[in-house]
Amino acid sequence: MLLLRRSLSLNVLRKEVDRACFGEKAKQIMRPDDANVAGNVHGGTILKMIEEAGAIISTRHCNSQNGERCVAALARVERTDFLSPMCIGEVAHVSAEITYTSKHSVEVQVNVMSENILTGAKKLTNKATLWYVPLSLKNVDKVLEVPPVVYSRQEQEEEGRKRYEAQKLERMETKWRNGDIVQPVLNPEPNTVSYSQSSLIHLVGPSDCTLHGFVHGGVTMKLMDEVAGIVAARHCKTNIVTASVDAINFHDKIRKGCVITISGRMTFTSNKSMEIEVLVDADPVVDSSQKRYRAASAFFTYVSLSQEGRSLPVPQLVPETEDEKKRFEEGKGRYLQMKAKRQGHAEPQP
């Protein structure tokens, strides 16, 4: 078990906060505005709660020693599976723990449980790994050093270092290959990429931002999930839910006053799932010296459900252009790789 100088346990009822020695506790009951028409809580709502927990514990840890004050900014979210749906009326419980620190980053593990307050039954709905970097309050472009944590075993530090190096490499690769833009097409045919692709344009206001003028990672993730959900619903025209999110990479900060465009397009379909690529571009309209830039990117996976909550077949995507066919094959590769990984975990251990 990892020994930490700072820990956090969040029991996510709305607007009710209890402070404890080593963390904050809050309780949040899921309400109709948190869910879709079928009563399932939006994946983006859960992602936002996860990010808030990670931001609190990492900011608290990074300010645990004397030195320049800072705020932790989200840099990356590893693949996140939605293990079980959460419904209106249930209470979300979020717990976060720091599991590794490098010189300039913090790894946070977050678990989400849902509680039926009528029966008391609880179930695990999400597990997520997030990476944060501490930014100076005096200059948010300056990354500060992270106080180290104490490990009970040397192997824990070695395993954490491997995870750190792997995510660092993936972030760089993703940043360079995300240069394209989703363009609208007139009169697209059903089941094509163009038919379901969607975009949302949002002006970043004070309520979206930290006290230091850049957007909360959880706000961005919630908007990304909304766009991906629209793409999925347009494609299959049924109730849809978020099944998983591949790694979300935050390539650059989004500042207050920017206009952001969140674009989503279908990349791959299996028999019962849909992969949607979501790109976030920021346009600093109040700063003519800075050009539009790619701020975040991710792949979301959705499934189609019947009114009874059973999985439904998904209409097969029809890629038309060479780029669409290439993205389809790349998505198929990710799908088969994850399927093999799940099957491997399901096999009994000798």
User: Sign of torsion, CA 218 220 225 226?
Assistant: positive
Catalytic residues: 36, 225
Residue 284's CB: how many other CB atoms inside 10 A?
A: 17
Nearest to 217 by CA among 180, 254, 186, 174: 254
What b/e sequence results for 33-49 when a residue is b if at least 16 CB atoms lie within 10 Å of its CB, and e otherwise?
A: ebbbebebbbbbbbbbb
282 contact partners, CB below 8 Å, separation of at least 6: 252, 254, 255, 258, 259, 260, 292, 293, 295
Instruction: Say how far apart CA 208 and CA 129 lie, in whole Å.
Output: 22
